[in-house]
Amino acid sequence: MAAKTPSHTWALMLQAHAVLLEAMQARLKAADLPPLEWYDVLWALEQAPGLRLRMGALAERLLLTRFNITRLVDRLEQEGLVQRQQSKEDRRGADAVLTAKGRALRAKMWTTYRAAIEDHFNRHLDADQHAALAGMLEALLKAHGRE
Amino acid sequence: MAAKTPSHTWALMLQAHAVLLEAMQARLKAADLPPLEWYDVLWALEQAPGLRLRMGALAERLLLTRFNITRLVDRLEQEGLVQRQQSKEDRRGADAVLTAKGRALRAKMWTTYRAAIEDHFNRHLDADQHAALAGMLEALLKAHGRE
DNA sequence: TGCATCTATTTGCAATTGCAACTATCCTGC
DNA sequence: GCAGGATAGTTGCAATTGCAAATAGATGCA
């Protein structure tokens, strides 16, 4: 069952990603919480100065297309978790702004998400492994950026 | 930019997965080839004894739901890449069988896919890193299986 | 045997995604 | 200051996914 070729490592990465992500999502669903995707939006906004981000910036950060962000924000807005505001600098632009309700939901989701990460991921690697893995992933990302 | 917490490593894994996967898919699309998903089906069948697999087995291997496999196979079948055959042992069951055309397409996709893996992934890790990464991913998968 | 139950797969329908076209605004060179 | 082209965001439509039935055949046991 050991890796035989480098490409096999890539296949393992795909598999591990799929398995772990599904496990995390199942945890959220079991706790009657929204999908991870919502978490990502809420978290991106919470980190941003002024709790707000332009639609395009949000898309870039979450690696989603602009039109999908439009509709993802539509859904969050309908739940009162974010709010759209016209941008001051650019009248074409819109900011997604985090609401108090959105902030509260993010915090609630994090307790479940954090536990899932702990159980399915963190717990199975020691400190050295975490560092090594993080280093490799950063190298891959950096290499990608350069191309 | 270094990892500060274990959970940050998980976030990096999500990000690296998203970035690299998208890069691979873009390569296939640029070469006018079908999506990776199709490759996965064709490859699973090519590895299977008799070039065939029950729908349910296929779903399990690809980590997809049964109903999504039904329709994925529908699409491949329309292109003549696979063919459905009623299972001998169980009249409820269906086998997806790889056709010659499906085999040929798989081979063709592989030249592009392999190059993309090489460029975006393999090339950026040395042999020790490959081994270490594969080991960690296998550990995560194994741990998951046990829960 | 004959019914209740389980399993394999498919299908209908609603939600989500991808892509192309559209609107509104901004920017640049003249 | 304005025509032409870029940019931000949204929307229509087709394709894909998720989930809850529906269908059909297997299985167990009274």
Give the CA-to-C1' distance from B50 to D29 in angstroms.
Answer: 37
CA A120 – CA A136 distance, rounded (Å)? 20
Please check the confidence at residue B1 and state whether its pLDDT lies above 50: no
Q: Which of B3, B14, B120 sits opposite A134 (nearest CB)?
A: B3
Task: Tell me the average pLDDT across A114-126.
Answer: 97
CB B137 to CB A12 under 8 A?
A: yes
Percent of chain A whose predicted confidence (pLDDT) is above 70: 97
Give the CA-to-C1' distance from A146 to C30 in angstroms.
Answer: 37
Strand partners, A83: A97
CA distance B99 to chain A (A): 24
Q: A49-65: b or e for each residue (b if 16 or more CB lie within 10 Å)? A: eebbbbbebbbebbebe
User: What single-letter amino acid sits at B32?
Assistant: D
Neighbours of A26 (CB within 10 A): 11
**Best to test chain B binding among A136, A146, A147 (most B CBs inside 10 Å):** A136
Give the CA-to-C1' distance from B10 to D15 in angstroms.
Answer: 31
Q: Which residues of B touch A129 (CB under 8 A)?
A: 132, 136
Q: What is the mean pLDDT of chain A?
A: 95
Is residue B139 very low, low, confident or very high in pLDDT (cuts 50, 70, 90)? very high
Chain C nucleotides reached by a protein CB under 7 Å: 7-12, 16-21, 24-27
Please check the confidence at residue A147 and state whether its pLDDT lies above 70: no
Residue range B57-105, pLDDT digits in tens: 999 999 999 999 999 999 999 999 999 999 999 999 999 999 999 999 9
Strand partners, A86: A94
Strand partners, A52: A97
Task: Tell me the average pLDDT across A9-16.
Answer: 98
Task: Tell me the average pLDDT across A86-101.
Answer: 97
pTM of the complete model: 0.93
Q: A72-103: b or e for each residue (b if 16 or more CB lie within 10 Å)? A: bbeebbeeebbbbeeeeeeeeebbbbbbeebe
